[in-house]
Amino acid sequence: MSSQQPYSFFQSVEKSFDKAAKFTKFDPGILEQIKACNSVYQMRFPVKRDDGSIEVIEAYRVQHSQHKSPCKGGIRFSDEVNQDEVMALASLMTYKCAIVNVPFGGGKGGIKINPRKYSVYELEKITRRYTSELVKKNFIGPGIDVPAPDYGTGEREMAWIVDTYASLKPGDIDAAGCVTGKPITQGGVRGRKEATGLGVFYGIREVCNMPDVMKKIGLEQGIVNKKVVVQGLGNVGYHSTKFFREAGAVVIALAEYEGAIMNPAGLNEEDVFQHRKKTGSILNFPGATNLAKNTDALELECDILIPAALENVINGDNAPRVKAKIIGEAANGPCTPEADEIFIQKGILCVPDMYLNAGGVTVSYFEWLKNLSHVRYGRMEKRFTENLNTEILAQIEGLTGKVVNQKERKFIMHGPEEVDLVHSGLEETMITATREIMAIWLDNAEIPDMRTAAYVNAINKVATSYAELGIFP
């Protein structure tokens, strides 16, 4: 396929899968089963608009794999939604969950609408009707398929979904677990909003702390003073930028659909966000230089490039001009297979989306567990930990005759809040996943890149599960 042509997202995923499958030892039939989407539900339903007209809505839900239950994946509202995209995203969810050791199969949903063109009441009707259609076909439930927010959706839509599900499934005490990404008051978990961006940061930080890897690509260890470019200032891009900046990196450029800005001295994401909120654009930000096109930011000289917006933004056409040493795929599918081949030739390390942006599903897993256990994280141990730490500190001060200052005392005595435990669990997840992928990559000289190693890791886990479960009947 020519780099000039639009690249099928699902074909892109399959191509990457096939590239990795030859490094595994499983039966070809098992591999075909893993690639295939188990269930594809395309639906159309009518909705009455505020003006009295009736519109037929096109929507999808795909369950890619049930090697683990339930299936898990977001619901996006976009007029670009199509079956190919939803299938690709569902399959990536399967591999993503396997890599980060979250016991879910992959799923994804989408409604083909532009949410900006509908009133809140219309969006609520569409969301509730979509949920009822899923319930009718047994495509949603805490043990079946658990949606989450995605592009164009958020906490509000998830609250509508859980309310609709609960009304159609009276008496289900685990109803809150039918969806994640809910408001805190409706069973959501603290730390969910920043989870994907924080996961991106943890994954890249772990890569940057590996001396052999850094030596190979010609960078110093650590995050401090690394020059970072971020494309996209949505939830993921904003939080990725925030955590990199707070860790000592210098964010030299930010890009959005209206354009890109650059400042070698560094940009503060919150200041840029407020500027955009006030003016409607990131352009003309004080102290920054406007770039001719938003895609120009992708080609800047930098250490780390974070594409956190759309699919296929780095392809066979512009990949030769990318100068970053590390590309961290915060978005889903920002680099095409052609771009991957060019990165291999240029010695650019591409940290793949299929695990790097798994922060959202990891914390969704924590939310799901919270819903099933019906207790907030930290509630059982916070005070016990604080009392224990207070006693230990008192003993140490008594034995040494020295008094700890107030700042250190506060830190030592702090018992974990829910958000502390969520962030800790996410950090452990991303570090473990990064090390597993790197071990596979370094263990086999024929594996060309980190994406292929990540796929090998995912395929091995999913295939093992299928093989152990056997074939029914």
Q: Which residues are catalytic?
A: 108
Count of positions (residues) in the chain: 473
Tell me, rounded to whole angstroms, the distance of Cα 88 from its chain centroid: 15
* 232 exposure class (CB count in 10 Å sphere: 0-12, 13-18, 19+): buried
Instruction: Give dist(CA 76, CA 60) in Å, integer.
Output: 10
Contacts of residue 346, Cβ cutoff 8 Å, sequence gap at least 6: 320, 322
Q: How many CA atoms lie within 13 A of 350 on its CB side?
A: 30
CB-CB contact of 415 with 384 (8 Å): yes
Q: Given the structure tokens 């898990």, which residue do they identify?
A: 72
